Amino acid sequence: MAKKKTRKTRQQLNQEARRKRKRKRTFKKVMDRMAAIIVFGGFCAAVGYPIVTGMVSINPLTGKENISAVNSADDNNESASEPTEAPTDSSYNTVSIKNTEIYRGPLILVNSEHAFESAKDAKIKALFDEKTDSYSVSGMDISLQEEAIEPLNNMLDAFARDTGHSDILIVAGFRTLEQQQALYDADLEKTGLTTSTLVAIPGHSEHETGYALDFSLFFSDGTSGEYDGTGDYDWIDKNCADYGYILRYPADKTEITGIQHESWHYRYVGKPHAYYIMQSGMCYEEYIEKLKNYTPEEPLEIVDGDGKAYAVYYVPAEMDKTVTYVPLISDKPYTISGNNFDGFIITIDLQETRELVSYTKPVEEVTGITTDEYGNVVTTVSGESASTTTTVYAVG
């Protein structure tokens, strides 16, 4: 009997030992899971929190993201070098933009003083593949920035519909630096001069941006002609702003632009900038300089030809840092463009429709328009009582 009792005790001991080993394995699994949770939590604290607070690199120029502080990466997709933080003394939301972005966007100013930096990452497309039947191109290699093509198509479709002309020929669009150099050298060889008065210095041509184009004429009988913007073609100058285009080199601004009048050269800048420029009679250099007077606290508010309201302002780049924090004064859709030398231009679509204001003369001279105590322009709405007013924002 004693021998049987001993075997039973060993069996029990073996079972207890197995249970202990099982408990140890279970405990180890629990600890491993807890360790994984701790590590994951630390990862979330390091990465997830910056996502929420805007410290992770995203493309800041689309205006489609929710407004938050976002930090751009450098060209190697690495974070900005200095541990900058969003300003705490502002009630605005902010986005942080790489300072190299001042050289990109549809509002960059390219002229003899400001060279075009690079076409890197530009979305250049051949017009031949994208155009409508309302105009022609002189070659399959004539190209533009993608965002400028649809407005061009819409403009020339409307021109053909209103005038019956579909004879506009686009003879120049995007050029590489090498193509610009070849044109410049050919002109010097032709004229014998040391500098060209007709062809922009390589690196300083708007054509290198992909936002500029030149018009000519090609008729149905196979003949061609020069585009001078007169007669029926005056329609373009009167309406191009509604499609985001401007006549880049007006006849009365040659001393400012440094370029002789070019009736055939148009530049895409987008609405509402084109509307303001063409309405006010400014050249592009004047407009870019004027925008420096407008801040997030006091933006330029423009009502375009469709009555759509926008707020536009300038933020200087903090060139001693890697990024600049740009305040956003509204949660409405926005775009950010560099000006190509010292800062950013922010355009916010206020998603509001307002009564049109003339930009061709001082606002106080516009009949029926007065300002309220805040400096906003108010005008009586036609057909309603004199006590009913609609706020219309004036040009500064």
If you ran DSSP here, which 8-state letter would residue 123 be given? -
Q: Which two tokens stand for residue 174?
A: 């995007």
As annotated, the active-site residues are: 262
User: Given 3-state DSSP classes, what are the helix, strand and coil percentages for the chain, each rounded to the nearest 5?
Assistant: 35, 20, 45
DSSP letters for 229-267: S-GGGHHHHHHGGGGTEEEEE-GGGHHHHSS--EEEEEE
**3-class secondary structure, 224:** strand
Task: Kindly report the length of the chain.
Answer: 396
Q: Which two tokens stand for residue 74?
A: 């450098």
220 by Cβ neighbours in 10 Å (0-12 / 13-18 / 19+) ranks as exposed
**3-class secondary structure, 336:** strand
- Cβ contacts of 58 within 8 Å, gap of 6 or more: 65, 70, 72
Rg for the chain, CA atoms, rounded: 31
